Amino acid sequence: MGLLAEKRVLLGITGGIAAYKAAELTRLLRASEAQVRVVMTRAATAFVAPLTFQALSGHPVHLDLLDATEESAMGHIALARWADLILIAPASADFMAKLRAGLADDLLSALCLAAETPIALAPAMNRAMWANPATCDNVRCLKSRGFRVFGPAEGEQACGESGVGRLLEPSDILRSAETLFALGGLTGHSVLISAGPTREAIDPVRYIGNRSSGKMGYALARSALAAGARVTLVSGPVSLQAPQGVKLVRVESAAQMYEAVVGLASSHDIYIGAAAVADYSPAKRAERKIKKRDEAISIELTRTRDILAAVAQLSNPPFTVGFAAETDHLEDYAKAKLADKKLDMVAANRVGKPEGGFDSEDNALHVFWRDGEGYLPMAPKSLIATQLIELITEHYAAKNSAQNPG
């Protein structure tokens, strides 16, 4: 899988002759396994019919800000929250001026104003329009606000003139988009991640499990890979495909996860415990299927060993990051875990609600370290993973330089 695999890309298309190239870009994004939703301005539809993008993206194209059905289904706020990346190609001079001014009078500009995810622009326009001081000023201002600008290229233009202003080739736009997910800060370092649930066998057919899907841990593995790390993923039973390039170790029970993680931890620089490990396991596993009886039965449960605490107590522990899944008192319990288990960082998520946590596409994390904290608001797990890996990279580097000054 590539860097865009499973990333949610909202492709914005504004009015200009280069709009036809967005069709090839949509095809390339889909071929890279990105999920694509297309938003077109009305001017863009004068150049290419929305049906083209519906066929290529596999989803209806979003056009209007005040469409009653669209607002109730996936309006501008929902679209802005859905995306890991908003990519506007082609971005016209007029649209960039609107972005700079903060206008929100159509769907695309409104969702850009509401967006908290990165926005990348691939400008396309006549060379004189590109060179115009107003456009230069707008682009400079947008860059200073964090917008990424891909291109434009130099060459023949549709109007017959030649110069800088051509839309980058779709394959170049794709490569530029990929770099946004390639952080690079962990090149040469190794990350061990646990993910998914554990299953504690009661008899040959029954077990105690939990609702973890593995999505959070697998997203972290993908982001750590994108950051350049060598990644080992110790996974409980899930139905996800491991990212290509990750070393996958499959386990089932908490005891097997303990052996795998504690055995591997000393040879890794960072450990992230995203798995939902059972705290209790049946004291005895019945050899045969337990037969139904009239009376109630009870199963004795014993405590499992704490993997995270064991890793943090190794003589040469990796930078150790725990998760805390709490229904209440999130902050207090998370801080207690940080201190009691001697962790470097703890990422707390609220569970038991429809949004976020177990088996959900999105998550929000309150992250604590010894002398600080940070909040990652509700977003797709792929984006939360990228942001958490960035935080971990920063604090891991700071700890290393404090331990090895000079």
| Active-site amino acid positions | 159
User: In this chain, which stretch among 2-10, 66-74, 268-276, 292-300 interacts with ligand PMT, using CB under 6 A?
Assistant: 268-276
One residue of 186, 226, 324, 388 binding ligand PMT per CB under 6 A = 324
Tell me: does residue 29 bind ligand PMT (CB under 6 A): no
Angle of CA points 130, 135, 140, to nearest 5°: 110
Tell me: does residue 150 bind ligand PMT (CB under 6 A): no
First to last CA, the chain: 39
Kind plus residue range of the DSSP H or E element containing 369: strand 362-369
CB 178 within 8 A of CB 3: yes
Note the helical H segments in 3-131.
Answer: 21-31, 42-45, 50-57, 68-74, 76-82, 93-101, 107-114, 127-131
Q: What are the residues whose beta carbons fall under 8 Å from the beta carbon of 284, sequence distance 6 or more?
A: 300
One residue of 323, 368, 369, 396 binding ligand PMT per CB under 6 A = 323
One residue of 79, 86, 186, 254 binding ligand PMT per CB under 6 A = 254
β-pairing, 230-235 with 190-195?
parallel
Residue whose CB is less far from ligand PMT, 166 or 341: 341
C-alpha–C-alpha distance, residues 119 and 79, integer Å: 13
Tell me: does residue 274 bind ligand PMT (CB under 6 A): yes
Tokens of 21: 């190239």
Residue whose CB is less far from ligand PMT, 135 or 349: 349
One residue of 21, 100, 189, 215 binding ligand PMT per CB under 6 A = 215
Residue whose CB is less far from ligand PMT, 12 or 380: 380
Question: Binders of ligand PMT among 172-191, rule CB under 6 A?
Answer: none
One residue of 307, 338, 383, 388 binding ligand PMT per CB under 6 A = 307
CB 183 within 8 A of CB 228: yes
User: In this chain, which stretch among 18-26, 182-190, 214-222, 371-379 interacts with ligand PMT, using CB under 6 A?
Assistant: 214-222
User: In whole angstroms, how close is the CB of 400 to ligand PMT at the nearest point?
Assistant: 22
User: In whole angstroms, how close is the CB of 44 to ligand PMT at the nearest point?
Assistant: 36
Tell me: does residue 351 bind ligand PMT (CB under 6 A): yes
Tell me: does residue 308 bind ligand PMT (CB under 6 A): yes
Burial environment of residue 283 by CB neighbours within 10 A (0 to 12, 13 to 18, 19 or more):
exposed
User: In this chain, which stretch among 9-17, 115-123, 319-327, 386-394 interacts with ligand PMT, using CB under 6 A?
Assistant: 319-327
Q: What are the residues whose beta carbons fall under 8 Å from the beta carbon of 71, sequence distance 6 or more?
A: none
CA nearest neighbour of 345 among 384, 310, 318: 318
DSSP 204-238: SS-EE-----SHHHHHHHHHHHHTT-EEEEEE-S-
Tell me: does residue 214 bind ligand PMT (CB under 6 A): yes
Tell me: does residue 212 bind ligand PMT (CB under 6 A): yes
CB 364 within 8 A of CB 377: yes
Tell me: does residue 319 bind ligand PMT (CB under 6 A): no
Residue whose CB is less far from ligand PMT, 68 or 283: 283
Residues interacting with ligand PMT, by CB under 6 A? 194, 196, 212-216, 254, 273-277, 279, 304, 306-308, 322-325, 349, 351, 357-359
